[in-house]
Chain A
Amino acid sequence: MQPEIFSYDNKIVKYFTYATIIWGVVGMIVGLLIALQLAFPYFNFDISFTTYGRLRPIHTNAVIFAFVGNAIFTGVYYSMQRLLKTRMYSDLLSYIHFWGWQLIIVLAALTLALGFTAGKEYAELEWPVDLLIAVVWIVFGWNMFGTIARRRVQHLYVAIWFYIASWVAVTILHVFNSVELPVSLFKSYPVYAGVQDALVQWWYGHNAVAFFLTTPFLGLMYYFLPKAANRPIYSYKLSIIHFWTLIFIYIWSGPHHLLYQALPDWAQTIGVIFSVMLIAPSWGGMINGLLTLRGVWDKVRETPMLKFMAVAVTAYGMVTFEGPMLAIKTVNGLVHFTDWIIAHVHIGGLGWNGFLTFAMLYWLIPVLWRTKLYSNKLANIHFWLGTLGVLFYAIPLYWAAITQGLMWKEFTPEGFLRYPNFLETVVQIIPMYVTRIAGGVLYIVGVVLMVYNLVKTIKQGSFVASEEVSAMPLEKINRHRILGETIHGWVERKPVQFTFWVAVALLFGSIVSIVPMFVVKTNIPTISSVKPYSPLELQGRDIYIREGCYTCHSQMVRPFRSETERYGEYSKSGEFVYDHPFQWGSRRMGPDLARTGVVEGKMYKTAAWHFNHFYNPQEMNAESRMPAYPWLIANKMNISSTPAKINAMIMLGVPYPEGFAERSVDSLMNQARMIADDLKQSGIEVEPDREVIAMIAYMHRLGRDISEQKPVKTGLVMKTDVPGILTDQESVDLGAQLFKANCAACHGVSGEGNAIGPNLTDNYWIHGGAPDSVYNTIYNGVPAKGMQAWKDLLTKDQLQQVFSFSMKIKGTNMSGGRAPQGLEEKPQKME
């Protein structure tokens, strides 16, 4: 057999390299800008395109899909050709992939700036762009598998395993999370609603981290680290074990983004335990990388590329330890919705993805241009600036997270929230935000030095677009396992089988963790009072999504005393059945909004307040970090699409009455006029067709359905229902006897009170005079004050009798009674 002469396509690698560098700088600068906005709201510039809510998705999409995405393709196109000893399958596909991906990035930036967004984190892009992504991704896969098919190497190296798994997983994730019903060219609704949408979204969101930010980079590490260190991989067996356990376990752990939220307990448990089980598989990659460097640590000290690589792998190890810890419910209860998560992802993004990309570029560009790196010294400076940048970025945010998380939960000895005003907890962490900006600046200055260094390197080198090489053709060997061949060794030379098993590993966890939420009805208990949004509220909701409000506000009250005290009743899964998409949020820069429509609640604000607040938040709260939204008042609502939106919702199963779409515009305008009239009474003149009216309608809707059920303080009564009040003479007499025997010592024979216990016959109540409050006091007692819990001392019937007697004497105002204590009960509140 003769060696075959062929060439590697270096030009496509060069293209992706340039794109990586350019988008990296752009994405990071947008990141710096939004960091500035959080510390100094001035930087929102009062322009819709540049507000935080629109720029934050641009930042995340840019650094994930543009910077890291192009870095993946750079490394994949370089390493795959060499690992498989063949040119890419098709140059045409390579360049369609390249230009298609860049087009997607440009479209993403434009559409997101214009407010065309699906409102789901890291999956914000609207349906035409989603389709384009699918096409380009298929082109990439076609090219990749074509290349694998034409390989001149019998076995697939571990880097290729990771590339295959990444491609398969991202395909599945993107397709299933993007099933959406278009309403117009740039507006769609996801077919999933509420809890289901949340589960699918975080299955996607978490695994976008896993299979876009992690597994492809592990593939890159497995190629570039041993190449640069000139060392063999420490353990082939570890590669096998950590590859399969990683991809099998990763796919399950999405629900850890939804702990203590309106998700069934079993799904949360899946999120917890699969995250904990991820520690070892993730560390497998770090350990294999670090142990590969064993024996060449002196070289690591001297070679900037290896330094970056070593820190990248270490950052990966830190992040993948931190992740499982954050997935433990107790920890999560404190730091979810805080900056801990932001710090965590930046250790990953800046440390792992950033540093590994820099390492790759410092190694790859001198190789491609056949020269030496222009300046090792500059690269070393970059290394230190970058490392310091990460520390200055992350440490203040960890601090901010703990500070704010504790402030949210702190109660005074009197039992009030110590910081009932949410803003206080934000003001407290602004200094940390300023420090974080410094960290970002250091990191970006380092990157600028790198760009200079690499440009100089490119200038002094000579690029070979097509690199001629030779290799022996692939020998045909037995399809079946050969004697002495391990099963894994066999599958490694069977790409189709290998891909099949990868797909099985990925689909198994996906199906088991998600499908029950769709088919088992009890997972989402129905709440009959929850009704579809009115057309105006829906309009408001779409504006809420357009402005990216979910980037700072959650709509998810967790079942903690500190949250129900601050916001109101905790969120139930049945509340969200008409939410396409769900808007639970993941970070609270501002307060939770799930209960802003509960008139009696703690979060309610009038229409006039909302109007003024949208127009100029700082006028209402001087320290507020919220951008101003003057265009909501200037802009007319787009009501031409309202009937189409209602019809789309009907198609998705939202039960609007028949023919409602035709009446929807009338309904919308009627409601809008009512709000405009309300504003007029406060002296605010505004046309009813303005966007702000829809936003007010939406704010006043949130939480209202469930509040109309009036579940008065049910939270206090432990595992028991309040019985009815008996009025028949026999029961009342029995109650009176029980009262005399058990209660009179403290409350007097007729309930008039004495030196120990309060008067029960007046209208003043210390622990509430409503029937369920009274029953609760009898049932659970107030041990701190000497009132016994009677639940274990009396039978259920006896409890009901004495409770009925207590209700009978209420308001009889016995003479000689003890002076009133507690709050007077207002007559209209008597039930």
Chain B
Amino acid sequence: MNYEGINKEKSMQSEEDSTVTDKEKSLLLPHEFDGIRELDNPPPRWLMYILYITVFFSALYWVHYHTFRQGPTQDEEYLAEMAASVAARDADSSVVKLAQLTDQVNLDAGKKIYNEKLCYSCHGMAGEGNAVGPNLTDDYWIHGSSIDKIVEVLINGVPAKGMAPFKDQLTKEQILQVASYVLSLQGTNPPNAKAPQGEKAG
């Protein structure tokens, strides 16, 4: 028996129902599966080109990065990114005078930062303190009551106690604004204030 002979299963597809064009009839392959026929068209050439191009690209990619090690590794990419980003804040050599700000514009700016940076989640909406953070409105202070001590806490934080450092988030001026805002809360006696902690300001 030859190859044609093993494909003699008859099409169950009724001829008048078929949408096969005359041109396609010559391309019909002899086999048939539950009425499904197949044409002997070649794969579209553009699709094969995509295959060849992607295979070629992939080979180049491998050779470039791993055979000749021309491309950067992921660690090198990171080092390059860090080296290229001599951040403006590192270059910021301005000296901000460490003195409490009292004008409304700066205090409003400080309040805005207090809310934006979610200070309230630990110190309360009015600075009254909560289970996490101390009351900022009484005159007891754990890390000092002067503007420079507060600025220092804001800059470096007190990580072990949950106070985050803000040196990577706020400029010196902004830190001074929020510190001044905090000092402006002194003696406001908000409701639900947390009991005093630390030492009484001298």
Contact = CB atoms under 8 A, between A and B. Distances in A.
Interface of A: 79, 82-83, 85, 153-155, 157-159, 222-223, 226-227, 229-239, 241-242, 245, 260, 265-266, 268-269, 272-274, 276-277, 279-281, 283-284, 287, 291, 295-296, 299, 411, 413-417, 420-421, 423, 472, 475, 477-478, 482-485, 489, 493, 559-561, 564-565, 570, 599-602, 604-606, 608-609, 611-612, 619-621, 682-684, 715-716, 718-719, 758, 766-767, 780, 782-785, 819-823, 826
Given A83-B34, A273-B57, 19 more contacts: A154-B31, A155-B31, A233-B36, A234-B41, A235-B41, A237-B42, A238-B43, A414-B92, A415-B90, A416-B168, A420-B169, A421-B116, A559-B75, A559-B78, A599-B159, A682-B131, A719-B79, A780-B83, A782-B91
A414 B87 contact: yes
B19 interface: yes
16 contacts: A154-B31, A232-B36, A235-B40, A235-B42, A239-B38, A260-B74, A415-B89, A420-B168, A561-B78, A564-B82, A604-B162, A606-B132, A682-B132, A684-B131, A715-B79, A785-B91
Contacts of A561: 78, 81-82, 85
A423 B118 CA distance: 10
Contacts of B142: none
Contacts of A233: 36-39
Contact of B162 (A296, A609, A820): A609
B57 to A, nearest CB: 6
Nearest to B72: A265
| B19, B39, B74, B116 interface centre (most CB from chain A within 10 Å) | B74
Interface of B: 1-4, 6-7, 9, 13, 17-21, 24, 28-29, 31, 33-44, 47-48, 50-51, 54-55, 57-58, 61-62, 65-66, 73-75, 77-83, 85-93, 95, 116-118, 121-122, 130-132, 155-156, 159-162, 164-165, 167-171
Nearest to B3: A484
Nearest to A829: B156
Given A157-B36, A233-B39, A416-B170, A766 B90 contact: yes
Contacts of A472: 9
Contacts of A612: 130-132
A85 B12 CA distance: 12
A164 to B, nearest CB: 15
Contacts of A478: 1
B36 A269 contact: no
B191 to A, nearest CB: 17
Contacts, number: 240
A477 B90 contact: no
A223 B4 CA distance: 24
Contacts of A780: 83
Given A154-B6, A279-B50, A417-B168, A784 B93 contact: no
B167 to A, nearest CB: 8
Contacts of B55: 277
A611 B195 CA distance: 20
Contact of B38 (A83, A236, A604, A819): A236
A560 B131 contact: no
A233 B41 CA distance: 9
B143 to A, nearest CB: 13
Given A276-B57, A482-B2, A482-B3, A295 B35 contact: no
Given A227-B34, A602-B168, A280 B93 contact: no
A489 B4 CA distance: 12
Contacts of A785: 91, 93
Contact of B82 (A237, A260, A600, A716): A716
Closest 9 CB pairs of A and B: A415-B87, A606-B162, A273-B58, A280-B51, A559-B78, A232-B37, A415-B89, A238-B43, A157-B33
B81 A560 contact: yes
A570 B43 contact: no
A584 to B, nearest CB: 15
B93 to A, nearest CB: 5
| A273, A478, A716 interface centre (most CB from chain B within 10 Å) | A273
A181 B169 CA distance: 45
Contact of B43 (A241, A415, A782, A826): A241
Contact of B88 (A414, A606, A715): A414
A559 B77 contact: yes
A605 to B, nearest CB: 6
Nearest to B24: A232
A559 B36 contact: no
A129 to B, nearest CB: 36
A621 B121 contact: yes
B41 A237 contact: yes
B19 A231 contact: yes
A83 B33 contact: yes
Contacts of B155: 823
B86 A599 contact: no
Contacts of A157: 33-34, 36
Nearest to B195: A683
Contacts of B2: 482-484
A721 B36 CA distance: 69
B58 to A, nearest CB: 4
Contacts of A260: 74
Nearest to B79: A718
B159 A608 contact: no
Contacts of B20: 231-232
Contacts of A266: 66
A17 to B, nearest CB: 19
A85 B32 CA distance: 12
Nearest to A716: B82
A363 B38 CA distance: 21
B54 A276 contact: yes
A157 B38 CA distance: 10
Contact of B17 (A230, A236, A241, A600): A230
A6 to B, nearest CB: 14
Given A226-B36, A484-B2, A599-B160, A821 B95 contact: yes
A619 to B, nearest CB: 8
Contact of A230 (B13, B117, B171): B13
B62 A265 contact: no
Nearest to A484: B3
A154 B18 CA distance: 24
A268 B62 CA distance: 11
A575 to B, nearest CB: 15
B175 to A, nearest CB: 11
B12 to A, nearest CB: 10
Nearest to A272: B61
| B75, B91, B132, B167 interface centre (most CB from chain A within 10 Å) | B132
A787 B179 CA distance: 33
Given A83-B34, A718-B83, A265 B73 contact: yes
B66 A565 contact: no
A233 B38 CA distance: 5
B17 to A, nearest CB: 6
A489 B66 contact: no
B89 A416 contact: yes
A259 B50 CA distance: 24
A601 B58 contact: no
A273 B53 CA distance: 12
Given A284-B47, A783-B86, A236 B93 contact: no
A356 to B, nearest CB: 17
A485 B35 CA distance: 22
A155 B30 CA distance: 12
Given A232-B24, A683-B131, A295 B19 contact: yes
B40 to A, nearest CB: 6
A265 B77 CA distance: 12
A268 B71 CA distance: 14
B34 to A, nearest CB: 4
A498 B35 CA distance: 23
A609 B164 CA distance: 12
B163 to A, nearest CB: 9
A601 B159 contact: yes
Contacts of B171: 414, 416
